[in-house]
């Protein structure tokens, strides 16, 4: 029986305009009434995801910053930060490469030091709490760093993902979108967050469902007994997971949630 559902947002639950369909709110409330815990699981920051899910914020658990931060009822349940020394090394390596723009993603705020477009626009749109500082090095050591998001003005799969993993062997570098990659602590990912929640809430793998569209979702999908990817997902991930639902523009996740609810109601 399903007791836990986690879903990625961009490219998965959100539509092509990056809008959250309001139909999800009654579904989340219904799932809660059936004993199912729902978790938005995103590379986005907590402030941004909580704002999206404001109508049901007290009914869900938030997996943010690609699993480095887990919060419920405003309380931090889990935090897996990057070591300060590793963060400084990463910023230095990113600056040394052309076409890349770093963002320090902390528990409460994201920080940028560049104002070039379109990076500046994307940063301000995607991060509700975002501050521009003169130098990112001034932030390191003052706050826990959940991850470093890197905007690639060429294409992440063709550029930064080919060079940063070799330059940063002690960190985890993963594609998180067409023009983004994320750098995290070596053991920090959405799968780790799922394992934490499974232990905290006494959940079995077979009781968990997950949806995701890109490689930063892979570990999460692997940790759940039922894993699905939308038709629009990154092709290598589709090949790895196999279970494909309609694309995000057609509300594939919503359709599957309704199916799960119908099956659960049959057992009540």
Q: Does the pLDDT of residue 178 top 90, yes or no?
A: no
Q: Tens digit of pLDDT for each residue in 110-156?
A: 999 999 999 998 888 778 899 999 999 999 999 999 999 999 999 99
Question: What integer pLDDT is reported at residue 114 of this predicted model?
Answer: 93
Query: Of 63, 147, 137, 136, which is closest to residue 105 (Cα–Cα)?
Result: 147
How many CB atoms neighbour CB 226 within 10 A? 17
* pLDDT recorded at residue 194: 98
Residue 268 pLDDT > 90, yes or no? no
Average pLDDT score over residue span 76-87: 96
Cα–Cα nearest to 171, from 247, 43, 80: 80
* Closest among 68, 2, 65 to 38, alpha carbons compared: 2
Alpha-carbon span 76 to 26, nearest angstrom? 26
Taking 90 as the threshold, does the pLDDT of residue 219 lie above it? yes
Instruction: Give the model's confidence band at 96: pLDDT under 50 very low, under 70 low, under 90 confident, else very high.
Output: very high
Domain ranges in the chain?
Answer: 4-79+188-267, 84-184
Checking if the pLDDT of 176 tops 90, the result is no
| DSSP one-letter code for 34 | T
Strand partners, 208: 4
232 close to 223: Cβ distance less than 8 angstroms:
no
Q: Which of 9-23, 24-38, 123-137, 234-248 has the lowest mean pLDDT?
A: 123-137
CB 195 within 8 A of CB 178: no
Name the pLDDT band for 188 (thresholds 50, 70, 90). Answer: very high
Beta pairing, strands 130-132 & 110-112: parallel
How far is 154 from 241, CA to CA, in rounded Å? 28
Rounded average pLDDT over 154-165? 93
Q: Quick one: residue 13, left, alpha or beta (phi over 0 = left, psi -120 to 50 = alpha)?
A: alpha
For domain 4-79+188-267, is the CATH number 3.40.50.10580? no
User: What is the pLDDT at residue 127?
Assistant: 86
| Rounded mean pLDDT, 246-266 | 97
For the chain, what is the mean pLDDT?
95
Residue 102 forms beta bridges with which residues? 150
Please tell me the distance from the alpha carbon of residue 164 to that of residue 154, in angstroms, as a whole number: 14
What are the φ/ψ torsions at residue 143 (nearest 5 degrees)?
-140, 155
CATH number of 84-184: 3.30.1240.10
Give residues with Cβ within 8 angstroms of 79, minimum separation 6. 68, 69, 70, 107, 144, 146
């Amino acid at each position: 029986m399903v007791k836990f559902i986690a879903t990625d947002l961009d490219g998965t639950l959100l539509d092509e305009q990056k809008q959250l369909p309001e139909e999800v709110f009654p579904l989340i409330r219904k799932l809660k009434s059936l004993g199912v815990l729902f978790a938005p699981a995103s590379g986005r920051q907590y402030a941004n995801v909580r704002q999206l899910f404001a109508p049901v914020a007290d009914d869900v658990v938030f997996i943010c910053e690609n699993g480095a931060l887990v919060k419920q009822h405003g309380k931090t349940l889990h935090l897996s930060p990057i070591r300060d020394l590793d963060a400084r090394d990463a910023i230095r390596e990113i600056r040394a490469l052309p076409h890349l723009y770093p963002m320090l993603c902390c528990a409460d705020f994201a920080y940028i030091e560049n104002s070039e477009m379109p990076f500046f626009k994307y940063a301000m749109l995607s991060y509700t709490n975002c501050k521009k500082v003169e130098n990112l090095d001034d932030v390191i050591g003052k706050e826990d760093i959940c991850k470093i998001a890197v905007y690639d003005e060429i294409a992440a799969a063709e550029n930064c993902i080919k060079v940063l993993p070799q330059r940063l062997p002690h960190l985890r570098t993963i594609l998180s979108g067409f023009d983004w990659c994320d750098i995290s602590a070596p053991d920090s990912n959405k799968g780790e967050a799922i394992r934490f929640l499974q232990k905290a809430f006494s959940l079995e793998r077979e009781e968990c469902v997950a949806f995701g569209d890109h490689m930063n979702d892979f570990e999460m999908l692997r940790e759940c007994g039922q894993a699905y990817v939308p038709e629009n997902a990154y092709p290598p991930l589709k090949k790895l997971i196999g279970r494909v639902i309609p694309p995000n523009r057609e509300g594939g996740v919503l359709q599957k949630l309704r199916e799960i609810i119908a099956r659960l109601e049959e057992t009540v």
